[in-house]
C-alpha cells in the first residue's frame, strides 16, 4: 500500500544510511522498524528499564531550588 509520511530530516537521513549499509530499500528499513516497535507495544513490555540509584545529598549553600536560573548557574559553574 502506498502512503505519504512527513519524517524528521535527520531521521530520514539515518534511515537512508541504514538502508544503504544493509543493501536494502528505505521501505524495508521503515517497515522493519515499525513492525519491531508495534511488536514491543503489543507485548506490553517496557521499551526500556530505568535503573534508579538514589543517593543522599544536600542542597548546596546559596542554591534556591525554586529559582531555575540560579540552579543552572551553579550546575554550570557560572558562579
Q: How many CA atoms lie within 13 A of 68 on its CB side?
A: 0
Of residues 65 and 15, the one with the higher pLDDT is 15
- Look at the pTM and tell me if it is higher than 0.75: no
Predicted confidence at residue 17, as pLDDT, reads 96
Contact 40, 46 (CB under 8 A): no
Return d(Cα 17, Cα 13) in angstroms, integer: 6
| pLDDT (0 to 100) of residue 63 | 79
Whole-number pLDDT of residue 57:
82
Nine-digit cell string for 75: 550546575
Is 72 exposed, middle or buried, given 0-12, 13-18 or 19+ CB atoms closer than 10 A? exposed
pLDDT, tens digit (0-9, with 9 covering 90-100), for 47-73: 677 788 888 888 777 778 888 888 888
Q: Read off the pLDDT of residues 23-43 as tens digits, 9 standing for 90 and up.
A: 999 999 999 999 998 887 777
Amino acid at each position: 500500500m502506498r502512503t505519504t509520511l512527513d519524517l524528521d530530516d535527520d531521521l530520514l537521513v539515518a534511515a537512508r544510511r541504514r538502508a544503504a549499509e544493509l543493501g536494502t530499500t528505505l521501505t524495508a528499513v521503515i517497515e522493519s522498524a515499525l513492525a519491531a516497535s508495534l511488536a514491543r507495544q503489543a507485548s506490553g513490555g517496557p521499551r526500556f528499564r530505568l535503573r534508579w540509584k538514589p543517593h543522599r545529598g544536600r542542597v548546596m549553600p546559596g542554591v534556591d531550588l525554586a529559582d531555575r536560573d540560579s540552579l543552572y548557574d551553579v550546575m554550570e559553574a557560572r558562579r
